Amino acid sequence: MEKKTVFIKDTNRIVQAGKDFDTHFLSYVREVGLEEVVEVTRVADIGIYDQGVVVKIMPGDIQYAQVKDTDIKRIVDETLKKGNVIQELVCTKEPKQLRVVLRNCGVIDPDSIEEYIASGGYQGIKKILSGMTPEQVIEELKVSGLRGRGGAGFPTWLKWKLTREAQGDQKYIICNGDEGDPGAYMDRSVLEGDPHSVIEGLMTAGFAIGATKGFFYIRAEYPLAVERIEKAIAKAYDYGLLGNNILGSSFSFDVDIRLGAGAFVCGEETALIASIEGKRGTPRPRPPFPSVKGLWDKPTAINNVETLANIPVIMTRGGAWFAGIGTEKSKGTKVFALTGKVKNSGLVEVPMGITLREIIYDIGGGLISDKDIKAVQTGGPSGGVIPKEYLDTPVDYENLQKLGSIMGSGGMIVMDEDDCMVDIAKFYLGFCVDESCGKCVPCRIGGYQLLRILNRISQATGTLEDVDKMKKIALAMQKASLCALGQTAANPVVSTIKYFEEEYKDHIVNKKCRSHKCTHLLNYSIMQDKCKRCRICVIHCPANAITGDKEKGFYVDQKICAKCGKCFEVCRFGAILKE
Amino acid sequence: MINAKINGMPVAVEEGTSILDAAGKVQVKIPTLCKHPDLPPGAGCGLCIVKIKGSPKMFRACSTPLENGMEITTHDPEIVAVRKTVVELILSNHPNDCLQCGRNNDCELQKLVADFAIRQEPFEKSLRDIPKDTSTKTIVLDPQKCILCGRCVKVCQEMQNVWALSFLERGFCTRISPAGDIKLADSPCIRCGQCSNHCPTGAIVENDQTSDVWAALQDPEKYCVVQIAPAVRVAIGEAFGLPIGTNMTKKLYAILRRLGFKAVFDTNFGADVTIMEEGSEFIERFIHGKGELPLITSCCPGWVDFMEKFHPDMIGHFSSCKSPHEIVGVLSKTYYANKIKVDPKKIYVVSIMPCTAKKQEILRSEEMFASGMQDVDIALTTRELARMIKQAGVDFVNLPDEEPDHILGDYTGAGVIFGATGGVMEAAVRTAYYIVNKKMLPKIELEEIRGLKGVKTAEVSLNGKAVRIAVAHGLNHVEFVLDQIRHAKAKGYELPYHFVEVMACLGGCVGGGGQPYGVTDELRMKRAQGIYQDDRGKQLRCSHENPLVQTLYKEFLDKPLSAKSEKLLHTHYKARPVYAK
Amino acid sequence: MAKLTRESFDTLVHQLSEKRAESNWIKVGMSTCGIAAGAEDVLNTLTEEAKKRKIEIVIKRCGCQGMCSVEPLVEVHVPGLPDVVYGKVDKACAVKILEEHVMAKKLVNDHIYELRTKR
């Protein structure tokens, strides 16, 4: 019999169903004398969740779920020995991820141009330089329906077309690697894991718009990404895939790297351009758009890393193939950085149109604890929260926008009951206020004042009037800010108020934070029935807020209590109630 | 032509016209704050937002060009509400100091808030805790009042090419300060005051020294004399509601006497003397080959400071002649003091100037003490004089005309045109032409070097030789001229120019940093017209014709460039570091 | 290095495709997430220990797999066994992979996070 491997995993999130299942399995295998040809292995993760005990048999890729101890005999006798598939047990969970952008990440050595070429790399540019015109390249992009993955979702073909048509003796193409959203690191992974794909995408874009010079603008906080791109560029030059007359054609293309310097706002196109020009990184009014007047006043197109990583595949497999993935208006895949209270946090790449539920439960493995999901935050500091009622929403640009959030660059944070919506809004707004360039009033002062109000709400000094004030400021920021940072900085606030206004009111009127996040709204008290009167909390309290004696018991004086949580930390008897 | 609709009304404008300007064509006023006609739109404040049909966004009218078929709404409840929030946000970051502020009644933010009828402040006050910068003793920076419109930075960097001011830090902590967070006095600042002229609030004002002058006027030991610059007379009227460019010369003489000055002089007299000296200097260099060409004028202290810091290689080209008010100052304490038999130590000279840099100039070097003591004791700006007049309790506008003290107060048309760009050059040419060619210019008004173009050139003939003259104003226009000269000298070519006039302020002194707040091309032009009208009204239009100047030389100085003139009326220059440390 | 032309490019692709049949190999995820979790130590341990035990195996680096919460990730290819990706690999686990998976041809329990079904 051919050697077979059996993989076993109990996929139930909470109550484990199959105790010692693998021991039982192995013991039956031994019983029937198959231990030489059947290997039984417990795995840490099998890609299927909440389906009881899952048994996978390779080769053959047979997968059974909800397997009980009583099924072991059948599986060994029928499937292992005879090769028959037991239909009732079969679990056909299709793989949800579709790796297009991340096709080479984790597969090839990023420092090896040969591995990239061996995986089909630079075939796209070769095809283009074998007789295609820039117009044909743009047409292929149009067919593909690719939209900018940096967050705005602007049709890539249109951006290239407008830049191509603009007047200018010199044009530029820039790769935006400034990925500033907290928690988003898709671009970093692509730059570190498959740098050549981005170089190839950049070259293709340059060809399409008529640019002979390209820039990588990478944030300085990504030193490894910079190093990998630097090495990749050098290798590409060595092989003649950059520089003059690439692959013997008349197309020449040079690439340079420019580093960011710690400013989130420099991910915005015009601020990025100012940064490369050596000026203060602040946005400019648009129009004129960069496609007409960009870097050094020349027509410039700026594309996100993920967008560019899609280009070589679109050119080799065709725009129609790409358009076959995704929804009507959002084609292709999207890489999300799935983080938060989810079991499997990391990067996931899925076709557009997959639902949030599928991402979180089928790929993410569900929530990490036994708490209920509360909401999903998408789009980073420019996005909003999507409450659990909408988990079956197919993910695409338009749907997320309708819910009051955005796709953004791909941040997706799963939240449970322990996450306070006011706190979340505060975190994101605080980020934007910190990163505001300061040029325009609505963002600079509006963001600051909005944050002050949120701080007061989370410190028990908010009023109901504050909710209206926040909405007023948010409207001014949205309509009158100079760039998208200011225009979207209030989104988390607006979105959380929209869906969780009760939570805000709870903070304001009842001075309660049910998620126990806002420390000023916490109440620490001693549960007399559990308290052993050991006085450890008294000794550790920095505010001397615990008084009493061994006879009558100890009490926390709420007026003095600094809400530091030290008593909660040090009590060995669980006698401190935190609410 | 672009055809579109604004508030339902059709407009037709040239391509590239902003929505803001297009709206003006149908009498629609979109509120602005950071915008200034001198500068490209900053697009910072967010007040000029409008709606364009078909888009959910709002757009900045100052920087968005009108396009065919656009339907613009400039005012609707939502737009007005957003604008109001923007103003309220600005206010939350601005001290409620109006009553004590130097721009009370003359402030763009104050006017905006009044127009918006803001009656309460919904947001908590959050002010910057940064002290004032009074280091230059000329210009005062008050970061608390700054609304970060960025005009001063653009002016200092792009209009004046000095780069003393810049933005520091970011976000809510953004502030305006010299780069490196040093004091203004240690920065490249040339004290031209253009920043204060463009500032919409009281964040940048001049150092108000009126109390010193009041004290001097009250001091029985002091013999106070005063002089007024040419540009002051056509701008002071604006502080009293008179049309721009109204010539208040004779009323100024009157008010100054009422204020208590014992003698009222006119800087234009000094200008005439300057021409005698500088004209002779030019003739020495051009006709007799003594000294470097081109000769560059030096009566503008901002320009002198700029040259000493950034272009010290040009020192040899500078006219050594002092500026007109310094000339009047030193003569007051020597020539005049002798005449009236007053101890020069008691004489207190006040210069009323359109200029903030003069406050620094009077302490520039030892040569500003040529009389044995400080030649000009204090320089006040036009704005400070306006305040003094208002405090004096006199109906300035309706005063009867008076005459100056002729000895240092009578002037020719050539003297008064110093106040406009091209004026020094025109005055010099009028006299030089006469001295060399022994006849008057066929056309006494040199129109080619008048006006607001950044660099103006012309050619005149002195003794059959062509003299190429250039006039530059606004320091960002100067580098071009200097580079042409350097290039020619390096290559041994013929000089592109023999005589160059430079004024640091755009428009010349009429647009000076000490003139009434808010300067635009319209103001520059109309004030200049007032000056040229004064010139036309004069019987004597050339400096050499001034009989009191002739007397001065006959009785005191002997002749231009005499030893006495050199000692009293001339100065030297030296290279200075751009940054003080 | 001669600059590629369209023709020499095709030749190179052909050459590389022929080279591809390798015997044993291990790939260690060496992106920032991996390195932060200790992938560098894992890579070094694998290299040294393989040398010590005279195991014929190519040890390579690759980019981010995507399962960032269980880094360091190590993919192992030993003909005759399914390709698997081990996660949460530390030095001890790295040695186990060499001794059990590579040498004894027995997969390591409780560390497999992904089965590579297609190649």
Q: pLDDT digit string (tens) for B339-385?
A: 999 999 999 999 999 999 999 999 988 899 999 999 999 999 999 99
Does B474 score more than 90 pLDDT? yes
Same domain, B221 and B144: no
Judged by a CB distance cut-off of 8 A, whether residue A561 touches chain C is no
Q: Do A445 and B45 touch (CB under 8 A)?
A: no
Q: Is B403 a catalytic residue?
A: no
Q: Which residues in chain B touch residue A480, judged by CB atoms under 8 angstroms apart?
A: 46-47, 49, 58, 82-83, 86
Residue whose pair of structure tokens reads 């003490």 in the numeric block: B369
> What token pair was written down for B394?
């006199």
Q: Å from A491 to nearest chain B CA?
A: 15
Instruction: Mention every residue, 6+ apart, whose C-beta is less than 8 A from residue C40.
Output: C30
- In total, chain A counts a number of residues equal to 579
Q: How many domains does chain B have?
A: 3
B151/B156 Cα distance (integer angstroms): 8
Domain harbouring B10, CATH code: 3.10.20.740
- Measured CA to CA, the distance from residue B287 to residue A463 in angstroms comes to 83
pLDDT at A2 (0 to 100): 80
- Roughly what angle, to the nearest 10 degrees, separates helices A447-458 and A491-508? 30
Burial class (CB in 10 A: 0-12, 13-18, 19+), B250: middle
Which of A265, A280, A444, A467 to mutate to test binding with chain B, by most B CBs within 10 Å of its CB?
A444
Q: Residue A507 in 3-state DSSP?
A: helix
Question: Any idea which fold A333-416 has?
Answer: Ubiquitin-like (UB roll) (3.10.20)
CATH architecture of structural domain A522-578: 2-Layer Sandwich (3.30)
| Chain C contact set for A56 (CB, 8 A) | 115
| Burial degree of B397 (CB within 10 A; 0-12, 13-18, 19+) | middle
Class of domain A4-89: alpha beta
Q: Where is average pLDDT lowest: A85-89, B13-17, B148-152, C1-5?
A: C1-5
- Residues whose CB is less than 8 angstroms from the CB of residue B136 and which lie 6 or more positions away in sequence, other chains included: B184, B185, B189, B191, B207, B360
pLDDT for position C19 = 73
C-alpha span between B108 and B32 (Å, rounded): 10
Q: Which helix (H) or strand (E) holds C50?
A: helix C39-52
Three-class SS state of C84: strand
Given the residues B206, B238, B278, B384, select the one marked as catalytic: B278
Output DSSP code: residue B225.
E
Residue of A264, A280, A297, A441 to mutate, interface with B, max B Cβ within 10 Å: A441
**Sign of the CA dihedral B395, B396, B402, B407?**
positive
Does the fold of domain A333-416 match that of domain A4-89?
Answer: no
Q: Which long-range contacts (CB under 8 A, 24 or more apart) does B52-59 make?
A: B57/A479, B58/A479, B58/A480, B58/B82, B59/B19
Every domain of chain A and the residues it spans: 4-89, 113-323, 333-416, 421-508, 522-578
Residues in A touching B46 (Cβ below 8 Å): 440-442, 476, 480-482
Best CA proximity match to B200, nearest among B41, B384, B35, B63: B35
Gap between the Cα atoms of A520 and A510, Å rounded: 13
Q: Kindly tell me if the per-residue pLDDT of A34 is higher than 80.
A: yes
Residues A290 and A168 sit within 8 Å (Cβ to Cβ): no
| pLDDT tens profile A346-389 | 999 999 999 999 999 999 989 988 889 999 999 999 999 999 99
pLDDT of residue B395: 95
Q: Using alpha carbons, select from A134, A125, A3, A132 the residue that is nearest to residue A57.
A: A3
The confidence score (pLDDT) of residue B192 equals 96
**Judgement on whether residues B145 and B293 belong to the same structural domain of the protein:** no
Please tell me the predicted confidence (pLDDT) of residue B480.
93
Is the sign of the CA dihedral B323, B329, B332, B333 positive or negative?
negative
| Start-to-end Cα distance in chain A | 62
Report yes or no on chains C and B touching (3+ CB pairs under 8 A): no
Lowest mean pLDDT among A505-519, B378-392, B515-529: A505-519
Considering the domain architecture, whether residues B179 and B219 belong to the same structural domain is answered as no
Burial classification of residue A340, based on how many CB atoms lie within 10 Å of its CB (0-12 exposed, 13-18 middle, 19 or more buried): buried
Residue B575 belongs to a domain:
no
Of residues C101, C37, C3, B276, the one with CA closest to residue A113? C3
B376 lies in the same domain as B472: yes
A129 pLDDT more than 80: yes
User: pLDDT for B566-577, tens place per residue?
Assistant: 999 999 999 999
Neighbour tally for C82: CB within 10 Å: 21
Query: Smallest Cα–Cα separation from B159: which of B421, B520, B474?
Result: B474
In sequence order, what are the residues at sequence separation of 6 or more whose Cβ sits closer than 8 angstroms to the Cβ of residue B399? B251, B254, B255, B258
Query: Residues of chain B whose C-beta is under 8 A from some C-beta in A?
Result: 41-47, 49, 57-58, 60, 62-65, 78, 81-83, 85-86, 89-90, 92-93, 122-124, 126, 147-148, 150, 166-167, 169-174
Confidence of residue B304 (pLDDT cuts 50, 70, 90): very high
Smallest Cα–Cα separation from A428: which of A387, A374, A489, A519?
A489
3-state SS of A32-83? CCCCCCEEEEECCCCCCCCCCEEEEEECCCEEECCCCHHHHHHHHHHHHHHC
Which of B187, B206, B225 lies at the terminal end of a domain, its last residue? B206
Sole residue written with tokens 């600079």: A444
Structural domain including B57 reads 2-75
CA distances from B215 to B260, B325, B349, B384 (A): 11, 22, 13, 15
Q: Domain A421-508: which CATH class?
A: mainly alpha
Are residues A194 and A200 in contact, defined by beta-carbon separation less than 8 angstroms? no
B20 is a domain residue: yes
- Give the model's pLDDT for residue C119: 43
How close is the nearest chain A Cα to the Cα of C54, in Å? 24
Q: Is the pLDDT of residue B291 over 50?
A: yes
CB contact under 8 A, C6 and A247: yes
Q: Of B41, B47, B170, which is closest to A285 when you measure between CB atoms?
A: B41
Picking from C7, C8, C9, C84 by the largest number of A CB atoms within 10 A of its own CB, the best residue to mutate is C9
pLDDT bin (cut points 50, 70, 90) of residue B186 is: very high
Strand partners, A351: A333
Q: Which residues pair with B59 in a beta bridge?
A: B50
DSSP secondary structure code for residue B545 in this structure: G
ipTM above 0.90, yes or no: yes
Shared domain for B278 and B163, answered yes or no, is no
Min Cα separation A446/chain B (Å): 6
Residues B51 and B180 grouped into a single domain: no
Query: What percent of chain A stands above pLDDT 70?
Result: 100
Q: Is residue B64, in this structure, part of any structural domain at all?
A: yes
Q: Which residues of A touch B44 (CB under 8 A)?
A: 439-441, 482
What are the distances in angstroms from CA A388 to CA A361, A382, A408, A414, A471? 13, 20, 19, 10, 24
For A4-30, how does the pLDDT look when each residue is reduced to its tens digit (9 = 90+)?
Answer: 889 998 888 777 777 788 889 989 999
The CATH superfamily holding the domain A113-323 is NADH-ubiquinone oxidoreductase 51kDa subunit (3.40.50.11540)
> Which of A147, A150, A174 minimizes the C-alpha distance to A382?
A150
Shortest alpha-carbon distance between residue B71 and chain A (Å):
17
Q: Find, among A426, A466, A467, the residue nearest to A447 by Cα.
A: A426
Same domain, B449 and B325: yes
Whether residue B56 sits in one domain with residue B183: no
Region B321-327: what's the mean pLDDT?
Answer: 96
Q: What dotted CATH number matches C23-116?
A: 3.40.30.10
Segment A58-79 shows an average pLDDT of 89
Q: What is the mean pLDDT of residues B64-69?
A: 95
Of B210, B577, B151, B168, which Cα lies nearest the Cα of B386?
A: B210
Active site (annotated) includes residue B332 = no
> Are the C-beta atoms of B503 and B533 separated by less than 8 Å?
no
Report the relative pairing of strands C83-86 and C74-77 from DSSP bridges: antiparallel
B446 and B540 co-located in one domain = yes
pLDDT at A93 over 80: no
Could you tell me if B459 and B505 lie in one domain?
Answer: yes
What's the pLDDT at A46?
A: 87
Q: Measured between alpha carbons, how far apart are the two ends of chain C, in Å?
A: 31
Is B443 assigned a catalytic role?
Answer: no
User: Rounded to whole angstroms, how far apart are CA atoms B511 and B355?
Assistant: 9
- Asked whether the predicted pLDDT for residue A109 surpasses 80, the reply is yes
Taking 80 as the threshold, does the pLDDT of residue A52 lie above it? Answer: yes
pLDDT band of residue A183 (cuts 50, 70, 90) is confident
pLDDT at position B255 is 96
Domain stop point among B188, B206, B224: B206
Q: Domain end: B155, B180, B206, which one? A: B206
Domain match, B178 and B196 both: yes
Average pLDDT over chain A, rounded to an integer: 93
Q: Does residue C56 or residue A204 have the better pLDDT?
A: A204
Contacts 24+ apart (CB under 8 A), A534-543: A534/A572, A534/A573, A536/A570, A536/A571, A536/A572, A537/A566, A537/A567, A537/A570, A537/A571, A537/A576, A540/A566, A540/A567, A540/A569, A540/A570, A541/A566, A541/A567, A542/A566
Contacts of B289 (CB under 8 A, 6+ apart): none
Same domain, B418 and B292: yes
With 90 as the cut, is the pLDDT of residue B463 above it?
Answer: no
Which segments in chain C show pLDDT lower than 70? 1, 20-22, 118-119
Rounded to the nearest 10 degrees, the angle between the axes of helix A134-144 and helix A305-317 is 100
Q: Is B141 helix (H, G, I), strand (E, B) or coil?
A: strand
Residue in chain B nearest A476 by alpha carbon: B82
Could you identify the residue written with the tokens 């990478």?
A: A218
Q: Which residue of A has its CA nearest to B82?
A: A476
A148-164 pLDDT per residue, tens? 999 889 999 999 999 99
Half-sphere exposure of B438 (CA within 13 A, CB side): 0
User: Could you say which DSSP state residue C25 is in?
Assistant: E
pLDDT tens profile A432-473: 999 999 999 999 999 999 999 999 999 989 999 999 999 999
Q: How many residues does chain C have?
A: 119
The answer for residues whose C-beta is within 8 angstroms of residue B335's C-beta and 6 or more apart is B407, B408, B552, B555, B556
pLDDT for position C118 = 59
